[in-house]
Amino acid sequence: MGMTPGDVIKMARDNGAEVVDLKFIDFPGMWQHFSIPAKFLQPDLFEDGLGFDGSSIRGWQAINESDMLVVPDPNTAVMDPFTAVPTISMICDIHDPITKERYSRNPRNVAKKAEAYLKSTGLADTAYIGPEAEFFIFDDIRYGQTINSGFYHIDSVEGNWNTGRDEKPNLGYKPRLKEGYFPVPPVDHQMDIRTEMMLTMLKCGIEVEAQHHEVATAGQAEIDMKFCPLVEIADKLMMFKYIVKNVAAKNGKTATFMPKPLFGDNGSGMHVHVSLWKEGKPLFGGNQYAGLSEMALYFIGGLIKHAPSLLAITSPTTNSYKRLVPGYEAPVNLAYSSRNRSAACRIPMYSASPKSKRVEFRCPDPSCNPYLAFAGILMAGLDGILNKIHPGEPLDKDLYDLPKEELAKVPKTPADLAAALDALEADHDYLLKGDVFTSDVIETWISYKRKNEVDALRLRPHPHEFALYFDI
């Protein structure tokens, strides 16, 4: 049973809401919003929507066809936990004002089409997704780029680089590199702020399973949400990021989901757990490797086959590939395993129950647009099932014991975003099935990323190049 427009109007009235905040996601993956007085919260808002100019939204309409409609989804209504004035918040879909059709470049629409395509195959009716989004909580961030300079500077009271700083007094307890998982306070400086984030999520309808410090020094954190169907979990992940950033700001700190902000320590990934169900029954449990079904193995086969192109969507920033390097628990090997955490696909073995059987795709990171990322993961896996793509033998051996020749045979993740985008350009037919991703969406994504991110970074001198080459 979902929320009706009437339920939302009553919720607003019961909570004394004076403002309605309408949120939607842009093409790369950031929330946008505008607000209206609560008196405009009427049933026709959910049918007719509200007009706005879409030409300024990244990756969207040209200026000559910029008018668009936001149509709020009543199921997403929640009282915003951060506004000074009582405000009811809803996530919106984007429609064409003339045809009233859903806008093809709206990522939430892509995710909805992915769910519909899954049902149309008859293979399953629900894809459950459980993301584990890691992030950092810092005390200070400064960065700049001009024609004659470029720098960044991160600070954290937890940062291991601050063991010798005069803090009047310096009380120590700063986690060593790769040793943040997970000592108790006072080494863990951020127990209370993570708890505040967790409790705020619970108030907003996000079911949280755990919160803890992560491996890296300087405040790496993880808060785990319970799995949900695809569109719902993408909605919740956007609220999750909103809560993390705002609770951090409220406490005089800053949070980032940037995959690799620190050199020499672990980056922030977002392992994505996936399982398919039909008529309330799990489909990934069986008598194959690690208690998986044949369907689950084929799903893994699709993920591994399409991983180079899929990573252009699930690991979509130039910084993502600073994380995807050997030595930091990063999943750089395009293989599967029940034990090896450097494999792109892992099968968690915490429980033998068929209901808990799932595939953990470890390559994604939290810089992704969740609607596009989860839709892409589903489409790659379904392609594996429909074409019976077997993933081959698992990678269960210790990588340190593997001969170089054998390790060289294991395919690797792309070296950088440019390579992933090239792979997406060459391999995206699996995304076009059911009109889930359109050719326009794929082409726009590739051109946007190449121009605004790959080229932008490629053209700028890097600070370390001066250390390498200034005296050449």
- Catalytic center residues: 53, 132, 134, 214, 222, 271, 341, 360, 362
Dig out the tokens for 144 from the structure: 């700049």
DSSP 183: P
- Can you name the residues that pair with 32 across neighbouring β-strands? 24
d(CA 140, CA 291): 46
Q: How far is CA 287 from CA 211, 290, 357, in A?
A: 33, 8, 11
Q: Give the start-end residues of each E strand in 218-269.
A: 220-225, 228-229, 254-256
Q: Give the start-end residues of each E strand in 201-301.
A: 208-213, 220-225, 228-229, 254-256, 270-278, 281-282
Residue 304, C-beta contacts closer than 8 angstroms, at least 6 positions apart? 334, 335, 336, 344, 345, 391, 411
Say if residues 18 and 38 touch (Cβ distance below 8 Å). yes
d(CA 78, CA 63): 33
Say if residues 441 and 105 touch (Cβ distance below 8 Å). yes
Dig out the tokens for 262 from the structure: 């620190």
Q: How far apart are the first and last CA of the chain?
A: 68
d(CA 239, CA 269): 18
d(CA 460, CA 379): 36
Task: Write out the DSSP string of 71-122.
Answer: EE-GGG-EE-SS-SS-EEEEEEEEE-TTT-PBPTT-HHHHHHHHHHHHHHHT
Residue 291, C-beta contacts closer than 8 angstroms, at least 6 positions apart? 285, 347, 349, 352, 354, 357
Query: Up-side HSE of residue 380: CA atoms within 13 Å toward CB?
Result: 29
Residue 232's CB: how many other CB atoms inside 10 A?
Answer: 16
d(CA 333, CA 184): 33
Residue 287, C-beta contacts closer than 8 angstroms, at least 6 positions apart? 293
d(CA 459, CA 35): 38
d(CA 254, CA 264): 21
